[in-house]
Amino acid sequence: MALTDMEMERLTDLAEKKQFRKLKEILCDMNEVDIAEVLAELSTEQALVTFRLLPKDLATEVFSSMEVEEQQDIITSMDDRELHQIIEDLAIDDAVDLVEELPATVVKRILKNAASGTRQLINQYLQYPENSAGSIMTAEYVALRPAMTVEEAFYYIRKNGVDKETIYTCYVINPQRKLEGVVTLKDLLMSAYETRVEDIMDDNVMSALTTDDQEEVAATFRKYDLLALPVVDKEKRLVGIVTVDDIVDVMEEEATEDFQKMAAMSPSEKSYLKTSVFTLAKNRIVWLLVLMISSTISGLILSNYEKAFASVPMLVSFIPSIMNTGGNSGSQASTLIIRGMATGEIELKDVIKAIWKEIRVGLICGTILAIVNFGRLYFMYPDSLMISVVVVTSMFLAVVLGKVLGVILPMAAKALKLDPALMAAPLLTTILDSLSMVIYFSLATWLLSVG
Amino acid sequence: MALTDMEMERLTDLAEKKQFRKLKEILCDMNEVDIAEVLAELSTEQALVTFRLLPKDLATEVFSSMEVEEQQDIITSMDDRELHQIIEDLAIDDAVDLVEELPATVVKRILKNAASGTRQLINQYLQYPENSAGSIMTAEYVALRPAMTVEEAFYYIRKNGVDKETIYTCYVINPQRKLEGVVTLKDLLMSAYETRVEDIMDDNVMSALTTDDQEEVAATFRKYDLLALPVVDKEKRLVGIVTVDDIVDVMEEEATEDFQKMAAMSPSEKSYLKTSVFTLAKNRIVWLLVLMISSTISGLILSNYEKAFASVPMLVSFIPSIMNTGGNSGSQASTLIIRGMATGEIELKDVIKAIWKEIRVGLICGTILAIVNFGRLYFMYPDSLMISVVVVTSMFLAVVLGKVLGVILPMAAKALKLDPALMAAPLLTTILDSLSMVIYFSLATWLLSVG
């Protein structure tokens, strides 16, 4: 499917030996994504020469598939006329991505060389909030009129469809650009030529607002198996469409961000291998500091019970298993709740249902763990029965408490408009540690009369 | 977009008042996914009556969108003729899903009432391994011949395309069903009627093998922005296609499974709210037991140092922050590595690069944490300078060790063909706990001359 290492080597070899004619011949038969990968392997010099060999249409597609750094190299090497050409050929959302990621001086040159309509469109797109439907939509869609016949629609699509993001879903608008209906190319193809578009269009159109969150938009695509979704402004005017290939990227990004947040990191869209050591450290250190400071609370609690473990030192050796078991139990629950809320399956109104579920799961898991652990302790320390009772009871309570807090904390975060992912394992565990140590040593001082 | 609570109430109300004519009228204008949701809210009795009101084509679509339990109710209420009809109308992959999830007696009735061709196809699909391209593909695709003209192709599509999963990508096969090329409906539409399919088709076709893992297939869709991908058998014969809407579901499922595995649970495809307490407990208890037992190792290590904390009880209070900081530091690294390997961005050959990266990140984070912590300790316990040195040094080493193990363990799992997600926070933390306690108390006994 993708390029093998051997094919890649052969192509870079051709570039090094300056056999550009042969190289061009092979590249022209390849997928644009793969060509961009080949260019990334070449030296800047070689990449520029090779890029200029490509036919114009293919070059634009390859350009869209490149990484920002390489796009910048290409742009720097272009004169104003070439730059104008490529900007006008790019889909508007790709042009916007460029403008958002390149340094200011390059952006200035890009905007200067864009046609005034394109410049306006780019500026409009830049105003949509990050991660909104507006920020991921494209303006390249097919718009039909209700009174067109199927034959006229086909004529229009054949004439105007080449540069559109998709021609398979067409949008029917009135003269004020208000969205009136949607018709698929399949519907058009299955209808007689004289049929009017308004008679076959579906006027019950789903749409997103420009300000809708991309995660919600993705949920709609998933639920209804969509290929494209129109985006309208507050006046219901059609301003763009979101296509499924962008949604696939959104889903990927959102899941990756959640993984990062749930492991106590600032989310980053950049790929791991390309992120600098400094940035990686920066994304991690804040949470590490917060959690280090918070976990000193468990330490302070422990120092209150110094007498207890001075007289029964054995108590200390059970600290890790009580803390870990409580923490693991809690993070199982919180992970399911956080993920369920991210996919839209669990809502705030389910809070009671979820707590009641987790209490019961906690009782079952806690009981099994307690029995197994008691057996082990009885076998290893047959003379310390009371200590075993204290350990096992504390663990049982930590497990149930973990399950309950695993539901309450993320849902409370959501209710407070905070990100539920913040309440994943790291923070939850730190909180649970303190609570389980209070339980453990309270029980110990009470039942063992120490401290 | 989706149904509001009010609309839902109005529709269930109509069913209760037996105003089925009115109900039918509204439903017929709705999306099949929403109709399935309405039926799920009704009593079995009402749902059956309402389902039978729907026009045949819509009914099949609604049926495909239903949950298994409700599909079973519908099937049970059908006579053999009706059952035959709906099975033949279902896409083959939906029929296979049914057969895989329903109880054996119902399956027997389904297979008995399927046409022999359908039965054969179902049996063939059932043999593809779980989560393979074969298991998610559909047989409803448009296959063209190279020698067809564009006009003939359109005629063929108009005649045969209605029930196909997609008509927007068509596959060109030779008489042995070997895949020769691919042509999009857009290509056909943009070409003259007399052009031959073989002249406009792309003969550099990407395809998947029936046995390819669905996660790999999803990565290909993402990389190349595909709408559909053909699936071939070992002889390169076309046997089906995978469409992007199924890939969207696969991505969702795979991410959810990884979240579950990384929080030490057996993955489950069922939604949280619909999973029974017993199943939830079953999915969690095994890992909780394994981790509880493993964390007793840290306990055993601690009990070796009873003398140390009997003479300096203060040492105990630093256990949580050393363990947690090391654990959090490690799970940050392992999360990025595991996710990177799942999306295909990080490969085994990157192991040295990643370790070197994490060593440096660990040195930076460890140094900052050590400085902050030393400041705090110096302020709180000005007389225990040596203890502070021991604590801070142990934490620093635990942080660096955490980062390195966070790379090594998941990559080692991958190299051993195990699931890297097993090496996420829970297990990693348990291993790190033991190591950091050895470091901490070795340093303590050495530098403080206790124990």
Of the candidates B341, B216, B257, B277, the residue with the CA atom closest to the CA atom of residue A343 = B257
Between chains, do B284 and A332 touch, taking CB under 8 Å as contact? Answer: yes
- Enter the pTM of the model: 0.82
Q: Cα–Cα distance between B137 and B124 in angstroms, integer?
A: 12
Positive/negative CA dihedral, B400, B403, B404, B409: positive
Q: Is the pLDDT of residue B1 over 70?
A: no
The number of CA neighbours under 13 Å toward the Cβ of B252 is: 23
Q: Are A84 and A115 spatial neighbours (Cβ–Cβ below 8 Å)?
A: yes
Q: Which residues does chain A have within 8 Å of residue B159's beta carbon, measured at their own beta carbons?
A: none
CA-nearest residue to B230 within chain A is A1
Å between A113 CA and nearest CA of chain B: 29
pLDDT at A123: 84
Fold of A143-251: CBS-domain (3.10.580)
The A residues from 265 to 304 touching B (CB cutoff 8 Å) are 265, 271-273, 277-278, 280-281, 284-285, 287-289, 291-293, 295-296, 298-300, 302-303
pLDDT at B140: 85
Residue length of chain A: 451
The owner of tokens 């309270």 is A442
Q: Cα–Cα distance between A205 and B90 in angstroms, integer?
A: 25
Q: Which residues does chain A have within 8 Å of residue B302's beta carbon, measured at their own beta carbons?
A: 316-317, 319-320
Domain spans, chain A: 5-131, 143-251, 272-448
Q: Is the pLDDT of residue A451 over 80?
A: no
Å between A299 CA and nearest CA of chain B: 4
Q: Cα–Cα distance between A179 and A172 in angstroms, integer?
A: 6
pLDDT at A2: 66
Q: List all residues 6 or more positions away from B403 whose beta carbon is below 8 Å from its beta carbon.
A: B329, B330, B332, B333, B358, B359, B361, B362, B365
Q: Are B196 and B146 spatial neighbours (Cβ–Cβ below 8 Å)?
A: yes
A6-52 pLDDT tens trace = 888 888 888 888 888 888 888 888 888 899 988 888 888 888 888 88
B336-390 pLDDT tens trace = 999 999 888 899 999 999 999 999 999 999 999 999 999 999 998 888 889 999 9
Q: Is the pLDDT of residue B451 over 70?
A: no
Q: Which residues pair with B230 in a beta bridge?
A: B241
Between chains, do B204 and A29 touch, taking CB under 8 Å as contact? Answer: yes
Q: Which residues does chain A have within 8 Å of residue B361's beta carbon, measured at their own beta carbons?
A: 277, 280-281, 284
Positive/negative CA dihedral, B344, B347, B353, B355: positive
Q: Cα–Cα distance between A59 and B206 in angstroms, integer?
A: 21
pLDDT at B404: 95
* pLDDT-derived band at A81, boundaries 50, 70, 90: confident
pLDDT at B2: 66
pLDDT at B107: 85
Q: Are A45 and A76 spatial neighbours (Cβ–Cβ below 8 Å)?
A: no
Q: Cα–Cα distance between B231 and B299 in angstroms, integer?
A: 53
Q: List all residues 6 or more positions away from B71 whose beta carbon is below 8 Å from its beta carbon.
A: B63, B98, B102
Instruction: Please identify, in words, the CATH class of the domain defined by B5-128.
Output: mainly alpha
Q: Which residues does chain A have within 8 Å of residue B350's beta carbon, measured at their own beta carbons?
A: 273
Closest in A285, A292, A345 to B321, CB measured: A292
For helices B425-448 and B277-304, angle between their N-to-C axes, nearest 10 degrees: 10
Tell me if residue A240 falls in helix, strand or coil: strand
Q: Which residues does chain A have within 8 Å of residue B264's beta carbon, measured at their own beta carbons?
A: 328, 331-332
Q: Cα–Cα distance between A139 and A156 in angstroms, integer?
A: 17
Fold of A272-448: Tetracycline Repressor; domain 2 (1.10.357)
Å between B65 CA and nearest CA of chain A: 9
Tell me what the mean pLDDT of segment A139-157 comes to: 91
pLDDT at A3: 76
Tell me if residue A227 falls in helix, strand or coil: coil
* pLDDT-derived band at B86, boundaries 50, 70, 90: confident
Between chains, do A310 and B314 touch, taking CB under 8 Å as contact? Answer: no
Token pair recorded at residue B25: 């009228």
Tell me what the mean pLDDT of segment B47-57 comes to: 87
Q: Is the pLDDT of residue B90 over 80?
A: yes
Q: Is the pLDDT of residue A335 over 60?
A: yes
Tell me what the mean pLDDT of segment A97-108 comes to: 84
Of the candidates B93, B141, B94, the residue with the CA atom closest to the CA atom of residue B75 = B94
Q: What is the DSSP letter of B164?
A: -
Positive/negative CA dihedral, B381, B387, B389, B395: negative
C-alpha separations of B419 from A323, B28, B249, B258, B425 in Å? 26, 46, 21, 10, 14
Q: Which residues does chain A have within 8 Å of residue B208's beta carbon, measured at their own beta carbons?
A: 1
Of the candidates A294, A288, A297, A236, the residue with the CA atom closest to the CA atom of residue A265 = A288
The A residues from 87 to 146 touching B (CB cutoff 8 Å) are none
Amino acid at A266: S
pLDDT at A93: 81
Q: Is the pLDDT of residue A1 over 70?
A: no
The number of CA neighbours under 13 Å toward the Cβ of B284 is: 32
pLDDT at B365: 94
* pLDDT-derived band at B248, boundaries 50, 70, 90: very high
pLDDT at B171: 94
- Same CATH topology for A143-251 and A272-448? no
Q: Which residues does chain B have within 8 Å of residue A31's beta carbon, measured at their own beta carbons?
A: 204, 206, 224
Question: Residue B10, Cβ neighbours under 10 Å: how many?
Answer: 13
Token pair recorded at residue B430: 């348990």
CA A364 to chain centre: 34
Å between B105 CA and nearest CA of chain A: 30
Å between B300 CA and nearest CA of chain A: 6
Token pair recorded at residue B106: 């119902």
Percentage of chain A exceeding pLDDT 90: 33
Å between B51 CA and nearest CA of chain A: 19
Q: Is the pLDDT of residue B450 over 80?
A: no
Between chains, do A345 and B318 touch, taking CB under 8 Å as contact? Answer: no
Tell me what the mean pLDDT of segment B206-213 comes to: 92
Q: Is the pLDDT of residue B392 over 70?
A: yes
Left if phi > 0, otherwise alpha if psi is -120 to 50, otherwise beta: which for B90?
Answer: beta
The A residues from 322 to 341 touching B (CB cutoff 8 Å) are 323-325, 328-329, 331-332, 334-337, 339-340
The B residues from 186 to 215 touching A (CB cutoff 8 Å) are 186, 189-190, 204, 206-208
What is the CATH number that goes with domain B143-243? 3.10.580.10
Q: Which residues does chain A have within 8 Å of residue B255's beta carbon, measured at their own beta carbons?
A: 251, 255
Q: Are B326 and B424 spatial neighbours (Cβ–Cβ below 8 Å)?
A: no
Å between B112 CA and nearest CA of chain A: 31
The owner of tokens 């919600």 is A216
Q: Cα–Cα distance between B255 and B339 in angstroms, integer?
A: 9
Q: Cα–Cα distance between B74 and A44 in angstroms, integer?
A: 63
Please state the three-class secondary structure of B257-304 as a single string.
HHHHHHCCCCCCCCCHHHCCHHHHHHHHHHHHHHHHHHHHHHHHHHHH
C-alpha separations of A265 from A28, A408, B357 in Å? 42, 22, 16
Token pair recorded at residue B253: 């499922």
Q: Are B242 and B228 spatial neighbours (Cβ–Cβ below 8 Å)?
A: yes
- Between residues A243 and A89, which one has the greater pLDDT? A243
CA-nearest residue to A154 within chain B is B189
Q: Cα–Cα distance between B119 and B114 in angstroms, integer?
A: 6
Q: Which residues does chain B have within 8 Å of residue A226's beta carbon, measured at their own beta carbons?
A: 245
Q: Is the pLDDT of residue A154 over 70?
A: yes
| B308 touching chain A per CB within 8 A | no
Fold of A5-131: MgtE N-terminal fold (1.25.60)
Between chains, do B364 and A324 touch, taking CB under 8 Å as contact? Answer: no
- Average of per-residue pLDDT values in chain B: 88
pLDDT at B274: 86
Tell me what the mean pLDDT of segment B393-407 comes to: 95
Closest in A224, A310, A320 to B298, CB measured: A320
* A208-209/B143-144 β-pairing: unpaired
Left if phi > 0, otherwise alpha if psi is -120 to 50, otherwise beta: which for B177?
Answer: left
CA-nearest residue to A31 within chain B is B224
Q: List all residues 6 or more positions away from A410 whose beta carbon is below 8 Å from its beta carbon.
A: A334, A337, A338, A341, A420, A421, A423, A424
Q: Is the pLDDT of residue B435 over 90?
A: yes
Q: Which residues does chain A have within 8 Å of residue B319's beta carbon, measured at their own beta carbons?
A: 299, 302, 316, 319-320
Q: List all residues 6 or more positions away from B249 whose beta carbon is below 8 Å from its beta carbon.
A: A222
* pLDDT-derived band at A241, boundaries 50, 70, 90: very high
The A residues from 20 to 59 touching B (CB cutoff 8 Å) are 29-31, 33
C-alpha separations of A249 from A32, A183, A215, A243 in Å? 17, 25, 11, 11
B286-296 pLDDT tens trace = 888 988 888 88
| A346 touching chain B per CB within 8 A | yes
Q: What is the ipTM of this complex?
A: 0.81
Q: Cα–Cα distance between B433 and B427 in angstroms, integer?
A: 10
Q: List all residues 6 or more positions away from A45 whose beta carbon is below 8 Å from its beta carbon.
A: none
* A228-232/A238-243 β-pairing: antiparallel
Question: Residue A298, Cβ neighbours under 10 Å: how many?
Answer: 27
**Greatest mean pLDDT range, B28-32, B147-151, B313-317:** B147-151
Tell me if residue A185 falls in helix, strand or coil: helix
Q: List all residues 6 or more positions away from B204 whose beta carbon is below 8 Å from its beta carbon.
A: A29, A30, A31
| B247 touching chain A per CB within 8 A | yes
| B167 touching chain A per CB within 8 A | yes
- ∠ Cα B297 B422 B97 (to 5°): 140
Between chains, do A284 and B399 touch, taking CB under 8 Å as contact? Answer: no
